[in-house]
Structure 1
């Protein structure tokens, strides 16, 4: 038995052209089904809610502290979406664990380094109970890179109030 006979049939059962047409139709149907499933996931409904977020910025110099001012609009770095407006900036000395001569560990301030607690008010999109900015989830403990007119800082989310 030949693979393709003299009439152009595969194993004498089905014409090769018919087989290609059936495969193309099945491919189109499969593509439409998967595309609509992907679009449904992407087009989830969301609601914008007013939130107040507390961010922590660690281990920065005074130049960065001076650049971050209340009233400035803050955006997420990758998506360039607005997170909100800085309401307050609290500056503290940055501290690290340091051993003493007896082997005990103590928190000691690092000269020239600060940590910032930035409170931001804004309106964020809430998808299925989680706040999002661009492709980043805004959850307590998550790392978010924020940018303003004169700064880019890596922050940690400490608190979210809606």
Structure 2
């Protein structure tokens, strides 16, 4: 098979053959990487290529006056860095905020919840993102458990993301709660 000059079948050098194989393998790998269809959204995408996302953000220990002011601006368009985003705050719900205090008693310790007149607000937000892997709205990633700034041109609050749903059916589910 290999002759005295190191050629395979008397026609091609083994080193040349290895170089050709490496180039072909590299071309196939790069071709698959760059030419395969985009799989970022798949069945989640809408016809415009964006993925609808609905998520909730909990903002704790808010004064009732702040809640009353915020309610006037719901629904409201999200914004960041002075620009409006492709996202809407569609709802806000309030619940009593309780502070827990540990009280020493003769029988041990007792946990007491005290209402100090504050509220916990839960915002429902619907937005469209280009990539459901990074799920960016403005410069913020939307991830359950992550700190999130809820901001419009009228108010700004910091909370924690509680829930998140991706896909075309999430926009309808957010409106049913109203």
Give distance in 1, aligned partners of 2:111 and 2:82.
41
Structure 2's unaligned 5+ residue stretches are 1-38, 41-48, 167-178
Structure-2 separation of matches of 1:99 and 1:136: 37
TM-score where L is the length of structure 1: 0.61
Query: Can you list the C-alpha shifts for 1:46-72, whole angstroms capped at 9, x where unaligned?
Result: 652111111101111122212223311
How many residues are matched?
116
Quick one: structure 1 residues 79 and 133, their matched pair in 2 at CA, closer, same or farther if it must change by over 3 Å?
farther
User: Counterparts of 1:106-145 in structure 2 under 5 Å?
Assistant: 106-111=112-117, 113-126=118-131, 129-145=133-149
Q: 1:85 to 1:133 in 2, by over 3 A?
A: closer
Normalising by structure 2, we get a TM-score of 0.56
2:13 is matched with none
Q: CA RMSD in A?
A: 2.5
Deviation at 1:120, TM superposition (A): 1.0
Deviation string 1:127-160 (CA, Å, 9 cap, x unpaired) is 5x23112332210011111212321100211111
Counterparts of residues 42-57 of structure 1 (less than 5 Å):
48-57=50-59
- Which structure carries more strand by proportion? 1
Moved over 6 A (4+): none
